[in-house]
Structure 1
Amino acid sequence: MLKKDLHEANRLSWNAATRAHNSHKGDQARFLREGGSTLFPEELELLGELRGRSLLHLQCNSGQDTLSLAARGATVTGVDISDEAIDFARSLSADSGIPGTFERSDVYDWLASTPPARFDLVFCSYGVIGWLSDLNPWAQGISRVLEPGGRFVYVDFHPVLWMFDEKLRLTYPYSGGHHFAEAVGVGDYVAKSGEGLVHWGYEEGVRDFKNPHPSHGFQWGLGDVINPLMRHGLLLERLEEYGYANGCQILEGMREAPGHRFLLPEGVPEFPLMFGLSVRKPG
């Protein structure tokens, strides 16, 4: 069941966090103008050819990935619940000279109100599923806005990872949509990850950020994600699991590897840290 009141609380938490996050990222417009990209190989490989494709980016945050996709030839629309993120994304598009359409909305409302069969690709990535309170209408909306033959591509941190707290203590259930409230709100993961996430030149920016707004998350397993997509007529093409996390140091003691990846701490048995999937709408 949708919990729109919790989504609204998250909007406030993300507004505060987004200002802190962007304070560390320097001149992002210049970085994009000069051909820089915030994308990782995993999502590009799953997305495939982008030139001439219409692409919807759900939970697009401040638009850096969205505009990196546009620079590769896609016609992009980004949607996010955060006012701060969408305002920044619009400015970033104007300042970088890379075209993109950005709309502020809860993704559920946006998917339900958008004309059907509109996009060749729907995309989302990295830390998005845990903010969604019901995956059935989410999957239904994705299926609805995809053109026949279109694909949904999704890359995120693996649900196994979210069973642990930052000190690698088993803390949360694996799946089932379990709700948990965080009094500290959305944190400054950009400051924590440093140049692993901001590889074009990390800046110190906001120090010791403390979010005044609490946040609410939901635990979803792989089956929780994939089965609603199947129920709404989408066909699974690929499911990948990766033993590293792109750009983000989520656990204490993670080791940075080439390609701005983070590995589990030394001595910890390997388990998947990310997954990627591609599903297709028949047609």
Structure 2
Amino acid sequence: MGDYRDVNRANWDERVPAHVASPDYHVKEFLDDPSYLSGVVRFDRPRLGDIAGLRGVHLQCHIGTDSVSLARLGARMSALDFSAPAIEQARSLAERLGLSMDFHVADAYDAVEVLGAGSYDFVYTGIGALCWLPDIQRWADVVAGLLKPGGRLFVREGHPMLWALDAGTEVPEARYSYFETVEPIVVDEGGTYVDTDADFDSTVTHEWNHGLGEIITAVQKSGLVFDSLTEHDSAPWNALPGLMTEDAEGEWRLTENPNRLAATYTLQAHKPAQ
């Protein structure tokens, strides 16, 4: 077994062209409409509040659509991802949109060394990021290291209840661990989560689930003060094909009795001012 980062990086590098070209990432809309925001950030906006003038960093930013959306809301954004092709596309998008941002190719665990300690008013982590990291405590320590006193963490993520389900079966069942494990969940699947005809060669990924209790405890152990946890019955992608319906805002929830499933959550915490 190779290093999980090498395995996952090969998979994500290969996805980049398909994601840039896919209508699901709405690159054209960003270019055509100066007010356009990603669906994820539109969903987050009521909980984000006013971020104008704040210095923010988006960890695991992929091709940067959420990052540029935060910049369009007035934040002074940095963004980081371990995939060089993804950062190349993110940087290109920001430049074409006339946004002044800095992008960095680095592993999330190296963010403090790359970006500087105590430099940010907020750290943003979006959908589908934490499952690629084996150690949630190490991640929380990185976040605490990046934040200025008084700065805050904002996370919206796939719910560990959802990540535990096997979406490839006719009736999804709890196949994967809800809790963090030492060994990764090794997945070998073709395709990706967007609409594309592309075929991929690097189909193996190494992933980890992290229970809500583990995440909250890690945040608190890092020295941050836990503020809130909101669970949502929707996700911004069709997480369980055949069982979910999309609403007008691009959120997917169970077609029948959506309150059966916590699909995503929003977690917020802050670094004490002193």
TM-score, with normalisation over the residues of structure 1? 0.87
Q: Deviations over 1:127-171 (max 9, x none)?
A: 011000111221111101101000000001111001111131221
* Superposition deviation, residue 66 in structure 1: 0.4
Which letter does structure 2 place at the counterpart of 1:188?
Answer: T
Counterpart residue number, 1:263? 253
CA distance, structure 2, for counterparts of residue 44 and residue 102 of structure 1: 22
Q: Deviations along 1:97-134, whole A, 9 cap, x unmatched?
A: 12211101111122244421100000011001100011
Counterpart residue number, 1:55: 56
Identify the residue that residue 22 of structure 2 maps to in structure 1: 24
Asked if 1:176 corresponds to 2:180, the answer is yes
CA contact (8 A) 1:132 1:217 kept: yes
For 2:239, which of 242, 250, 256 is the aligned residue?
Answer: 250
Alignment-derived partner of residue 200 in structure 1: none
Q: Aligned letter for 2:8?
A: N
d(CA) in 2 for partners of 1:270, 1:40: 25
Secondary structure of 2:123 counterpart: strand
Query: Is contact 1:143-1:233 (8 Å) kept?
Result: yes
TM value normalised by structure 2: 0.90
Amino acid across the alignment from 2:238: Q
For 1:231 and 1:65, how far apart are their aligned partners in 2?
28
SS in 2 for 1:245: coil
Q: CA deviation at 1:31?
A: 2.3
Aligned Cα RMSD in Å?
2.1
Size of the alignment, in residue pairs? 265
1:90-105 matches, within 5 Å, as 90-105=91-106
Cα offset, 1:93, TM superposition: 1.0
Q: How much does 1:218 deviate? A: 0.5
Contact kept, 8 Å, 1:184 with 1:211, in 2: the verdict is no
User: How far apart are residue 79 of structure 1 and its match?
Assistant: 0.2
Deviation at 1:176, TM superposition (A): 2.2
Q: Percent identity?
A: 29
Q: Which residue of 1 aligns with 2:271?
A: 281
Structure with bigger RCO (C-alpha 8 Å, 6+ apart): 1
**1-side partners of 2:71 and 2:125: how far apart?**
14
Q: Check whether the contact 1:15–1:85 (CA below 8 A) recurs between aligned residues.
A: yes
Report the residue type matching 1:258 in the other structure.
A
Change (3 A) 1:162 1:266: same
Instruction: Supply the distance in 2 between the matched residues of 1:112 and 1:250 (Cα, whole angstroms).
Output: 35
Q: What are the ranges of 5 or more consecutive residues in structure 2 without an aligned counterpart? A: none
- Cross-structure match for 2:46: 45
For structure 1, the 5+ residue unaligned runs are 192-205
Aligned to 1:36: 36
Q: How does 1:32-181 map to 2 (within 5 A)?
A: 32=31, 34=33, 35-38=35-38, 39-166=40-167, 167=169, 168-177=172-181, 179-181=184-186
